[in-house]
Structure formats: structure tokens, C-alpha cells
């Protein structure tokens, strides 16, 4: 019943507009708060000031809602080494904007390494099995979002997909449209934030950075050049992707390597998340200085935050599990790691 649908849509628009009024009296159809989103992002993704600024700019533009309407709301490419927070950034944004990280449409591009896997995105061509079913990896509802919330799509590790698969996305990045091969359905990405992640150039970048850890560069206190790092990454991207593909990206954001200075903050974030999981058992965990040093000193920056997370799983969580499986599970206890001098102090929450 078109008339009823129009009335419902009109009423929803009025309600959303009323809730979205700002202090200036201007109205935005989008209900998320850019400043709040950035604060959450800064608290969860540490050491990425350039990314924070780029995302803040994008969210304010989207909130203002004066886009052309004939292309996606934003197209971003995150590049950098593994474990620096590229995928996690999109998950946090989905959590803040959509209410849950799994509300975004995530496509793991490493599963689309062959040319014929293009059909996984665009559907089987006419004459092939499944051509009439419009099967696609895309979740139609998550792509289109709603009037008050944009859809979010993540193409994770896009450099691992076939070049033909990447070329199939050209229309998506440009006009925000993707017509399935059968020609019976068209996907609309115009109300969507599109993110891509890539490790392309990470090995070359790591080799460049390692030069400054030894030899005459280290003797004279020389540091890697940010411009040179960006040049390395841009060169790697040009070798991997067609120029017309790169030209459709609004912004390429380079993620920084996680240095020693930010490890303490990252550990605090990880411990906060661990304590949230432990809260349902009525237990809180605190690390003394020796424990913090034990976890941080063994960090390998080449593996990013994931390496620190692995150390927590390998050294801290087993000791907690042993305590949980004894009568002392929810009482004060001290545990020394068999692998080193780790000391954990836990007490009832």
C-alpha cells in the first residue's frame, strides 16, 4: 500500500528531524553525534592522530548532509601494517553509529582471490546456475541503512582479492550503484560509508623503518621520514590497483606503527575490555608495574596491537583461568607466570 508507506516515511522523517535538531537550530536526518563518535574512537584506537582527524572531518560532512546523493557518502582506504587498528576502526564506528559492530556489511576480500569470484559480489551471469536468485555477498539492508543512519560497508584486505574483483567495484565507488549480473536487481550504496583496508606496501615500509634501528642512522639519531613512508605506500598502491580505482577514493589514510610510547595506553584499553568480560563473574583484575612491564617489554611493533593481545591471552588469561577453577576464584590471589615474572593481583569486584 504505497500511500500508507508514504505516510509512515513522512512521520518517521518528522520525528527524526525533531530529534536531530542541534543547538544552532539546523536539522540533520542523521542521528549520530560526530563528536561523541570521535571520543569513543580516540579511547579505543590509540596512536592514530591522522586517522582521528580524517574520520572527524568525514563524520561532520556526512552529518551536515549536503552531499550530491549520486555517490556513496564517503569512500576511505586505510593502509598500514598489520595490527594497527584499520579493521577495528570500522568496527568501532559501526558500534557507535549503528549500535553494534556486526551491523555493518563486511566482505573479507582474501576469500575472493580468483577472477571468477566476481560473481560472489555481482551474482552469477545469465545462463549460469543461480543467475535468477540474485545471490551476493552483500547484505542489502546493511548497505542501504535507514533514513537516520547510514549503512557501513567494509572491504577488508582488498589487496588480496583478484584485480577483476576490485574492478567490479568501480561503479560502486563512483556512482554508488551495482547492478547484479542477472539485470533484475540494483544495489544502492548512496546512503553508505565505504571503507577498505590494505596491508599493501607494509613489508617495504617495515624494511625502510628497520634501517633506522641499526647502522649510522641510529648512531646519529635519524628518524624515518613521514613523506618517504607515504611515498612507499602510494607506490605500492599504484602497482596493485588501477589508477581509475585509486581515483575514486575520497581519502587514503596511513596508519602509524604502534611505538613504545603508546603501548601503555593500548594495554589499558585491553585490560578495560578484559574486565568487562570478567564483570559477569564478579571479578576485577589489576596489573602491578612488574606485570605491565612484563607484557609491554615483550612487544614486537611489527605485529601491532595484536601481539600485545596475544601476550595477554598466552600469559595473563591462563593464570586467571587457573584461579577461576579453584576455591580462590573470586578472592584475592597472587599468581606468577611460569614464563616470566608476571604478577597478577585480582580481587572481588
| Tens-place pLDDT, residues 5-28 | 544 554 454 445 444 454 556 678
Question: Is the distance from CB of 169 to CB of 155 less than 8 angstroms?
Answer: yes
CATH number of the domain at 261-348, out of 1.10.3260.10, 1.10.3720.10, 1.10.8.60, 3.40.50.300?
A: 1.10.8.60
DSSP, residue by residue, 70-93: SS-SEEEEEE-STTSSHHHHHHHH
Render pLDDT for 176-224 as a digit per residue (tens, 0 to 9): 998 876 666 788 999 999 999 999 988 888 888 778 776 666 666 677 7
Model confidence pTM above 0.95: no
CA distances to 45, 68, 206, 219, 257 from 216, rounded to whole Å, are 34, 53, 18, 5, 22
| Per-residue confidence (pLDDT) for residue 241, from 0 to 100 | 92
pLDDT score, position 248: 94
User: Starting from the edge strand earliest in sequence, which strands make up the sheet with 151-156, in order?
Assistant: 105-108, 151-156, 192-198, 74-79, 251-254
Query: Residues 198, 79: contact at Cβ < 8 Å?
Result: yes
CA 54 – CA 68 distance, rounded (Å): 20
Q: Are 113 and 334 in contact (CB under 8 A)?
A: no
Fold of the domain built from segment(s) 32-257: Rossmann fold (3.40.50)
Per the listing, cell 582471490 goes with 113
What is the domain partition of the chain in residue ranges?
Answer: 1-28, 32-257, 261-348
| Tens digit of each residue's pLDDT (9 = 90 or more) over 155-176 | 999 999 988 888 889 989 999 9
Higher pLDDT residue, 171 or 154?
Answer: 154
Q: What is the pLDDT of residue 329?
A: 44
Whether the pLDDT of residue 127 is over 80: the answer is no
DSSP string, 278-340: HGGGTEEEEE-HHHHHHHHHT--GGGHHHHHHHHIIIIIHHHHHHHHTSTTTTS-EEEE-TTS
pLDDT tens digits, 257-297: 887 778 888 899 988 988 888 888 777 788 888 888 888 88
Amino acid at each position: 500500500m504505497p500511500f500508507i508507506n508514504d505516510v509512515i516515511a513522512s512521520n518517521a522523517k518528522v520525528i527524526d528531524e525533531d530529534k536531530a535538531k542541534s543547538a544552532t537550530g539546523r536539522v540533520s536526518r542523521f542521528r549520530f553525534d560526530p563528536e561523541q563518535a570521535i571520543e569513543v574512537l580516540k579511547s579505543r584506537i590509540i596512536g592514530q592522530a591522522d586517522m582521528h582527524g580524517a574520520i572527524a572531518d568525514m563524520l561532520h560532512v556526512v552529518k551536515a548532509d549536503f552531499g550530491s546523493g549520486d555517490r556513496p557518502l564517503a569512500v576511505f582506504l586505510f593502509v598500514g601494517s598489520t595490527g594497527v587498528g584499520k579493521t577495528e576502526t570500522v568496527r568501532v564506528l559501526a558500534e557507535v553509529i549503528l549500535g553494534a559492530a556486526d551491523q555493518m556489511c563486511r566482505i573479507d576480500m582474501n576469500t575472493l582471490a580468483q577472477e571468477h569470484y566476481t560473481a560472489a559480489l555481482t551474482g552469477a551471469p545469465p545462463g549460469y546456475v543461480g543467475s535468477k536468485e540474485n545471490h551476493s555477498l552483500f547484505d542489502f539492508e546493511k548497505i542501504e541503512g535507514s533514513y537516520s543512519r547510514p549503512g557501513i560497508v567494509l572491504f577488508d584486505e582488498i589487496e588480496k582479492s583478484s584485480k577483476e574483483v576490485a574492478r567490479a567495484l568501480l561503479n560502486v565507488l563512483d556512482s554508488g550503484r551495482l547492478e547484479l549480473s542477472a539485470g533484475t536487481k540494483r544495489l544502492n550504496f548512496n546512503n553508505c560509508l565505504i571503507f577498505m583496508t590494505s596491508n599493501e606496501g607494509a613489508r617495504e615500509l617495515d624494511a625502510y623503518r628497520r634501517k633506522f634501528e641499526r647502522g649510522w642512522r641510529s648512531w646519529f639519531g635519524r628518524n624515518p621520514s613521514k613523506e618517504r613512508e607515504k611515498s612507499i605506500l602510494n607506490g605500492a598502491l599504484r602497482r596493485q590497483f588501477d589508477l581509475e580505482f585509486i581515483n575514486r577514493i575520497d581519502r587514503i589514510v596511513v596508519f602509524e606503527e604502534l611505538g613504545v610510547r603508546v603501548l601503555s595506553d593500548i594495554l589499558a584499553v585491553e585490560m578495560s575490555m578484559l574486565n568487562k568480560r570478567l564483570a559477569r563473574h564478579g571479578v576485577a583484575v589489576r596489573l602491578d608495574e612488574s606485570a605491565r612491564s612484563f607484557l609491554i617489554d615483550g612487544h614486537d611493533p611489527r605485529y601491532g596491537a595484536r601481539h600485545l593481545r596475544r601476550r595477554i591471552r598466552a600469559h595473563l588469561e591462563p593464570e586467571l583461568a587457573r584461579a577461576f577453577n579453584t576455591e580462590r576464584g573470586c578472592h584475592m590471589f597472587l599468581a606468577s607466570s611460569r614464563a616470566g615474572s608476571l604478577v597478577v593481583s585480582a580481587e572481588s569486584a
